[in-house]
Amino acid sequence: MNEELTHALAALPHGPEFRFLDRLLTLEPGRSGSGEFTLRGDEVFLRGHFPGEPLLPGVLLLEAAAQLAGVVAQSDPAQPPLPGLKLTAVRGAKITGTAKPGETVVLEAQVIGRMGSLISARATARVGEFTVLQCEVTLAGTAA
């Protein structure tokens, strides 16, 4: 991974237990990016979702999309990073699949609007050739 991608991913504020981006694949700072998350199978939440048939919860697909959107937005060289950036809204979410242990989720996010401390992004997730998520997210931070 090149230095720009490593630096952008390192800015993600989530602790390792709640990161759903293992690496960035592409980044057009402030505009778009792609990344991936591999479900290892040893994640604690899989014990209960579902015993004997572990699946990545759809809500965590949304979280992964929001994390990527945040990384893209916070990398904008024309905008100062927003402190405390958080997911505040989800629109038009369609969860059409999931990931099983050993599978890799490939995410894409595109910032489609900014207004003050609000950021709107469109995101998708794929497992193999199958789209498993489409959504729009709004992130909000504290204006500097």
- 49 an active-site residue? yes
- What's the CA gap between 41 and 127, in Å, rounded? 15
* Residue 133 CB contacts under 8 Å (≥ 6 apart), including other chains: 58, 61, 62, 65, 93, 94, 95, 96, 97, 123, 124, 125
Residue of 31, 49, 57, 93 with catalytic role: 49
Evaluate whether 111 touches 73 at the Cβ level (below 8 Å): yes
Tokens of 133: 């998520």
Annotated active-site positions, please?
Answer: 49
